[in-house]
Amino acid sequence: MAKKRKELTVEQLENLTRGHGKKYVSLDEGAALYSIGKNTFRQMAKDAKATYKINRRVLVNIQKFDEFMERFRKNSIKWRFRKMGKVIAITNQKGGVGKTTVAVNLGVGLAREGKKVLLIDADPQGSLTASLGYVEPDDINRTLATVMIEVMNDVDIDPMDGILHHAEGVDVLPANIELSGLEVALVNVMSREVILKTYIEMIRDQYDVVLVDCMPSLGMMTINALAAADEVIIPCSSSYLPVKGLEQLMATIVKVKKHLNRKLRIRGIVMTMTDFRTNYAKDIAEMIRSGYGSKVGIFKTTIPFSVKAAEPSAEGVSVYKHCPGGKVANAFADLTKEVLG
């Protein structure tokens, strides 16, 4: 027969812990002590992992709570109610289908809608980093690789250190060639699939949306992105026969869902570089719709083929800045609204 767990009374607990300088308070007492609302105090204490249920009463360990708040004070981060902090991986193992272009312009689009956005460059090519104007990614000394190595080695880090602030209102965690070395190193690491997730969990309450721009492969970095994500957006250029590649991607997503991240869902395929004057593009769109339409959503918005989509990366700005009101900027604004849906 299972033993009934022994519960301490509040007095016993106080006596036990008094010697260690700990003190427990109720939610009402804590709220009064810090002059904040009870709900806010409860949420903060939860975040601090300082709440204990003792004899059906919620008590808060004040020392633990103080230590947690000190981290915020030290790093000048404001504690906020947990945000939605949705993590979206932008993935397709096929190269050059518009992943980075979608990440940048969806990211800035969301920021223009008032969302706090972090863009994570998860590609050693550093294209996202470079296209936002950080033109020499290899010269940046703190990147995604740095923070992932620190997480791997259990180093106590300031998770916001290394995040860049772009003039168009998005934050960026850059990447460079070091990430390819890390990908190799990950193979021998325990919990290697969830290193990125562990990092993102540290910062996601600072953001409304975290977009991860994946590299063109289904290797360990992409698995890390899928394991960390709530949703996947799959850019698909209409100039390439996507069905075969999509099958492989879907199989990987199913595996990740089964073993690493049950809540992962495919948000949808976004058709990029479309030119609906040609029937070929129409055929491919139709093929995707008939092959995956019921299982996988396809965004209504398509991103038209235009040099206006390709040019801004040379200037380090989004298409909204490069060509405001143009058809590509409008398409990305529509896509943003669909994603916010």
Q: Is 105 in the site for ligand ATP (CB under 6 A)?
A: no
Residues 63-122 that bind Mg ion (CB under 5 A): 99-100
Q: How many DSSP H helices and E strands does the chain contain?
A: 16, 10
Stretch that binds ligand ATP, among 8-16, 96-104, 141-149, 179-187 (CB under 6 A): 96-104
91 interface partner picked from ligand ATP, Mg ion, none, CB below 5 to 8 A per type: none
Structural element, H or E, at residue 237: strand 231-237
Strand partners, 25: 60
Tell me which residues in 148-207 interact with ligand ATP (CB under 6 A): none
Residue the block writes with tokens 């996601």: 204
Contact predicate 339/110, CB 8 Å: yes
95 or 181: whose CB is closer to ligand ATP?
Answer: 95
What residues numbered 116-175 form the site for Mg ion, per CB under 5 A? 127
* Helix 62-74 and helix 38-47, axial crossing angle in degrees, nearest 10: 80
336 binds ligand ATP (CB under 6 A): no
Q: Which of 95, 89, 147 is nearest to 125 (CA)?
A: 95
Stretch that binds ligand ATP, among 64-72, 76-84, 99-107, 241-249 (CB under 6 A): 99-107
Range in contact with ligand ATP (rule: CB under 6 A) among 20-28, 225-233, 281-289, 305-313: 305-313
Nearer to Mg ion, 105 or 206 (CB): 105
Among 99, 115, 204, 267, binds ligand ATP (CB under 6 A): 99
Amino acid at the residue 292: Y
Instruction: Rule CB under 6 A: say whether 318 interacts with ligand ATP.
Output: no
Among Mg ion, ligand ATP, none, partner that 272 touches (CB below 5 to 8 angstroms by kind): ligand ATP
DSSP H helices, 2-161, are 10-18, 27-34, 38-47, 62-74, 99-112, 127-131, 144-152
Q: Cβ distance 97 to 237 under 8 Å? A: yes
Q: Does 310 bind ligand ATP (CB under 6 A)?
A: yes
Among 47, 121, 123, 171, binds ligand ATP (CB under 6 A): 123
* CB closer to ligand ATP out of 272 and 318: 272
As beta bridge partners, residue 24 has 61
CA distance 84 to 77: 18
In the complex, the smallest distance separating the C-beta of residue 46 from ligand ATP, rounded to whole angstroms, is: 38
Strands 209-214 and 57-61, sheet pairing: unpaired
**Degrees (nearest 5) of the Cα angle 262, 263, 267?**
125
Q: How many positions of this chain bind Mg ion (CB under 5 A)?
A: 3
DSSP 8-state code for residue 230: S
322, 312 contact by CB (below 8 A): yes
96 binding ligand ATP? (CB under 6 A): yes
- In the complex, the residues that contact Mg ion under the rule CB under 5 A are 99-100, 127
User: What residues make contact with ligand ATP under the rule CB under 6 A?
Assistant: 95-101, 123, 127, 216, 272-273, 303, 305-306, 309-310, 313
